[in-house]
Amino acid sequence: MNPLLLSAFLRRLGYTFTDETLRDTALTHRSASSRHNERLEFLGDALLGHVITSQIYQRFPDASEGELSRMRASLVKEKTLAELATELQLGDVLHLGSGELKSGGFRRESILADALEALIGAIYLDGGFPVCEQVVLRLFADRLEQLPDAGTDKDAKTQLQEALQGARLPLPLYELLGTYGDAHAQTFHVRCTLHDGSQSEGRGSSRRRAEQQAASVLLKQMQRA
């Protein structure tokens, strides 16, 4: 494992392991060794579900059970976990067998998602639950902020797109204007432009959050018109 890549990854993750064996096991796929991350993945899956469930329960006191379930599912599903893992560049530090390596396993959503859950399990064993919870909430902060209000399952980008489609208008164009700051604390600057030249800009700790912010401004303008 490349020490420089590992060091950079741990900075992005925001956690340094006391027990490096736990860390290495979490980053090892079953194709590479008999000492792999599947047991840690099992543990991390449960911990992630608990932390996210508790968080959305507190954040949305008026949401029904069904709404809470849909919100939780949107956060802990494989695609979301793989997106987070990609943002962390987790694939750069995975230990894969030669077959998985050749077939691009370091980019496969299932492998990335499982490894992220394994890391959550490893952090819990290494540092305890409060520390593990802090790491999870930091990793999911943007996505928790972007959850739709109770009663709607659609975020600002989705609502804007559907409003334009309903009016038979072209979809918005999102443009990345710049990225600022260190790798572990970046700010993304995005512009959203509509067919008529209307524009708004958004900033956030991820491109996704910046786009949501920009879309929200234009959506409110359309709703007021």
Active site residues: 45, 117
The partner residues of 180 in beta bridges, in order of sequence, read 187
Backbone region of residue 100 per phi and psi (left: phi > 0; alpha: psi in -120 to 50; beta: other values): alpha
Backbone region of residue 197 per phi and psi (left: phi > 0; alpha: psi in -120 to 50; beta: other values): left
Neighbours of 207 (CB within 10 A): 18
Task: Give the pairing type, strands 173-180 and 187-193.
Answer: antiparallel
